[in-house]
Amino acid sequence: MSQPIDENMVRHIGTLSRIELTDDEVRTFAKQLGDVLEYFDKLQQLDTEDVAPMAHAVELTNVLADDAPRNGLSTEQALANAPQHERDFFRVPKVLGEGS
Amino acid sequence: MSAASDLTILTAAELAKAIATGEASATAAIEAYLAAIDARDGAIGAYNEVFADRARARATSVDAGEITGPLAGVPIAVKDNMCTTYGRTTCASTYLATFEAPYDCTAVANLEAAGAVVLGKTNMDEFAMGSSTENSSTRMTRNPWDTDRVPGGSSGGSAAAVAAHLCAAALGSDTGGSIRQPAALCGIVGLKPTYGRVSRYGLVAFGSSLDQIGPMTRDVADAALLTRIIAGHDDRDATSLSEDVPDYAADLASGAAGLRIGLPTEFYTDALGGEVRSVIDQAIETYRAAGAETVEVSLPHSRIDIDADGKLSSFAVAAYYIICTAECSSNLARFDGVHYGHRTEEKVEDIIELYSRSRAESLGEEVKRRIMLGNYALSSGYYDAYYNKALKVRRLIANDFAAAFKHCDVILCATTPTPAFRIGEKTDDPLEMYLADIYTNSLNLAGLPGMSLPGGLSSDGLPVGIQLIGPVLGEPTLFRAGRAFEAASGTSRLTSPVIEGQS
């Protein structure tokens, strides 16, 4: 089912993953990810036609917390590890582009 | 041998008793361990950070009677992916190199509430992704049995610290074998509890439907003691179970007589070879001689095969790595260079570039690989073929275990395919490294408890683990069966050469 993964695909996944890749990394990952994906294909041998997917080992549903207020982190605590902040905010570069 | 180093020979339970009865002081215990760390951790590299001042202050409080509890004064090491409001929580990643957590992990807080003293944070594969602790950005951790070999991973620092007597006991985390595999390779006991038995609050998430915190100890009694303290419902982890925590020590001395031990055909194939096989075969004989009954059971979807080139394969490993990489790609999206952690110092045009560059600069190779595998498996056009397929196979694997436990109380198998491998041996081949977890992955998928304990030594003196698997919430049976094996085999509390060299 899976085609060996090519370098363009690796770049595409890098973009989806928000990880800049060097050309060396793209080459290495293409080979390594290809090997692992080929291994994953083993599962296609199994008939899972009538099997329901199992997302969690212990299938709890509707776990509700008491509707009671409790303290979260203070602004100061939340910002304590921020690489850059300004007043009570995390500082980030421009989010929206020119015509957006 | 001085009296101070004597204290490091005791198990956590023995040390707690010595301190409680006034036979030893908590201060003497802490000093003995700090001295052991000074003497030996240079060669082992178990710790990322040691909290000497804080530990001394807590020991003083224990000696003054201000801190009490079943573990009062007992020095414990904690894997560096559990948040503590003291010291740093780095996950052995450059991304979190300076991160100071604003809250405490529940399991760690429970230990300290029981009087334990957190001695430091231990090394690990970055974000718990790996099976050798070689994926750490901080240091190399070496196996106390042979310092040219890996301690296993990802909880390799905790395993090495316990084996080298650099703490009385430790906490690790297990997503696909990360407690049991290093425990096996370092000759100690390691338990992955039932999924949900121990709160995950404050454990930096890797695979949220798989992760569990558990004890790493010198013997089974200590594992039971620590589990009792860290287990229980926590309303800050919605997946934690509300069932009462039993007294795990209650059945410890009940012996093996009458236990039905399941031997899954699919774990006893040609893939189980060499010295691991002979240790397991001997363990089976030990159990039979102690009065246990063995029954053949079947786990078809966890079958382990070996091909002509010696390559191992298993459906469970494939399903596991699809699911854990998918969950990791989502969990690690939070490391964005904005809220905490590493942020690129280069000038960036927009926020996407900030994310992409900050992550590129500070995440290790294996972490990048897994995030990318996960995003691929979840991406449009591939979701059904990989992720959804793996979730279906997960159910087949869990159903197999449920059927097997109709015929047995506990399952016995190998923990790892081989004893500890050499440093650098598998680092160029990620798939080869993944297969180090081939006997442990399926339990995480099914949410079952599993414990590795020392089974014996290989001919070149390396520890080999045996793995006991229980049904959901079957921890009491694991402790009973584990203790029965220790008593019958005499393989508990192995002493690694690094300790013998000191005495």
Tokens of B318: 């494939």
Tokens of B158: 């905790």
Residue at A21 is within a domain: yes
Region class of A87: left (phi > 0), else alpha (psi between -120 and 50), else beta: left
User: Homologous superfamily of B3-251+483-489 in CATH?
Assistant: Amidase signature (AS) domain (3.90.1300.10)
Question: SS in 3 state form for B330-342?
Answer: HHHHHCCCCCCCC
A89 touches chain B (CB under 8 A): no
Residue at A18 is within a domain: yes
Cite the active site residues of B. Answer: 79, 154, 178
Q: How many residues does the structure list for chain A?
A: 100
Is residue A100 predicted with pLDDT exceeding 70? no
The C-alpha of B67 sits at a distance from chain A's nearest C-alpha, in angstroms, of: 27
B334 touches chain A (CB under 8 A): no
Query: If you search the block for the tokens 């490391």, which residue do you land on?
Result: B335
Specify the 3-state DSSP secondary structure of B356.
helix
Nearest CB to B337 within list A9, A63, A83: A83
A78 touches chain B (CB under 8 A): yes
B338 touches chain A (CB under 8 A): yes
pLDDT of residue B494: 86
Is residue B68 predicted with pLDDT exceeding 90? yes
Is residue B502 predicted with pLDDT exceeding 70? no
Nearest CB to A81 within list B100, B195, B357: B100
Which of A40, A46, A48, A66 has the highest number of chain B CBs within 10 A, making it the mutation to test binding with B? Answer: A40
pLDDT, mean of residues A25-39: 94
Grade residue B6 by pLDDT with cuts at 50, 70 and 90: confident
Lowest mean pLDDT among A36-45, B187-196, B493-502: B493-502
Q: Which residues contact B267 (CB under 8 A, 6 or more apart)?
A: B299, B302, B304, B413, B414, B439
Residue at A17 is within a domain: yes
The C-alpha of A55 sits at a distance from chain B's nearest C-alpha, in angstroms, of: 6
pLDDT of residue B24: 97
Residue at A56 is within a domain: no
pLDDT, mean of residues B466-474: 98
A52 touches chain B (CB under 8 A): yes
Task: Tell me which residue of B72, B73, B69 sits closest to B26, measured CA to CA.
Answer: B73
Residue B318 near residue B325 (C-beta atoms within 8 A): no
Q: What is the pLDDT of residues B343-356, one digit of tens each?
A: 999 999 999 999 99
Q: What is the pLDDT of residues B88-144, one digit of tens each?
A: 999 999 999 999 999 999 999 999 999 999 999 999 999 999 999 999 999 999 999
Grade residue A98 by pLDDT with cuts at 50, 70 and 90: low
pLDDT of residue A66: 84
A39/B313 touch (CB, cutoff 8 Å), yes or no: yes
Q: Identify the residue with better confidence: B278 or B1.
A: B278
Residue at A50 is within a domain: no
Alpha carbons B37 and B40: distance in angstroms, whole number? 5
pLDDT, mean of residues A56-79: 87
Residue at A33 is within a domain: yes
Containing structural domain, residue A34: 7-45
Grade residue A65 by pLDDT with cuts at 50, 70 and 90: confident
Alpha carbons B110 and B225: distance in angstroms, whole number? 12
Grade residue A94 by pLDDT with cuts at 50, 70 and 90: confident
Is residue B423 predicted with pLDDT exceeding 90? yes
B102/A73 touch (CB, cutoff 8 Å), yes or no: yes
Residue B354 near residue B338 (C-beta atoms within 8 A): yes
The domain ranges of chain B are 3-251+483-489
Lowest mean pLDDT among B116-125, B155-164, B430-439: B430-439
The CA–CA distances, whole Å, from B304 to B225, B314, B317, B468 equal 33, 5, 9, 17
B406 touches chain A (CB under 8 A): no
Q: How many domains does chain A have?
A: 1
Q: What is the pLDDT of residues B244-301, one digit of tens each?
A: 999 999 999 999 999 999 999 999 999 998 899 999 999 999 999 999 999 999 999 9
Residues of A in contact with B386 (CB under 8 A): 40
Grade residue B490 by pLDDT with cuts at 50, 70 and 90: confident
Residue at A16 is within a domain: yes
Q: Which residue of A has its CA nearest to B234?
A: A65
Q: What is the pLDDT of residues B189-221, one digit of tens each?
A: 999 999 999 999 999 999 999 999 999 999 999
The C-alpha of B38 sits at a distance from chain A's nearest C-alpha, in angstroms, of: 31
For helices B52-63 and B26-44, give the axis angle rounded to 10 degrees: 160
Alpha carbons B39 and B31: distance in angstroms, whole number? 12
Specify the 3-state DSSP secondary structure of B412.
strand
pLDDT of residue A3: 56
B445/A57 touch (CB, cutoff 8 Å), yes or no: yes
Which of A54, A60, A98 has the highest number of chain B CBs within 10 A, making it the mutation to test binding with B? Answer: A54
B318 touches chain A (CB under 8 A): yes
Residue at A15 is within a domain: yes
Lowest mean pLDDT among B28-32, B374-378, B431-435, B438-442: B431-435
Is residue B503 predicted with pLDDT exceeding 70? no
Is residue B4 predicted with pLDDT exceeding 70? no
Domain containing residue A26: CATH number: 1.10.20
Tokens of B96: 């979190």
Is residue B498 predicted with pLDDT exceeding 90? no
Q: What is the pLDDT of residues B450-460, one digit of tens each?
A: 999 999 999 99
Inter-chain Cβ pairs, chain A and chain B, closer than 8 A: 179
pLDDT, mean of residues A63-72: 87
Q: Which residue of A has its CA nearest to B352?
A: A18
Which of A19, A64, A66 has the highest number of chain B CBs within 10 A, making it the mutation to test binding with B? Answer: A19
Grade residue A1 by pLDDT with cuts at 50, 70 and 90: very low
The bridge status of strand B450-457 relative to strand B189-192 is: antiparallel
A43/B321 touch (CB, cutoff 8 Å), yes or no: no
Q: A-contacting residues of B 340-379, CB under 8 Å?
A: 340-343, 348-357, 359-360, 363, 365, 368-369, 371-373, 375-377, 379
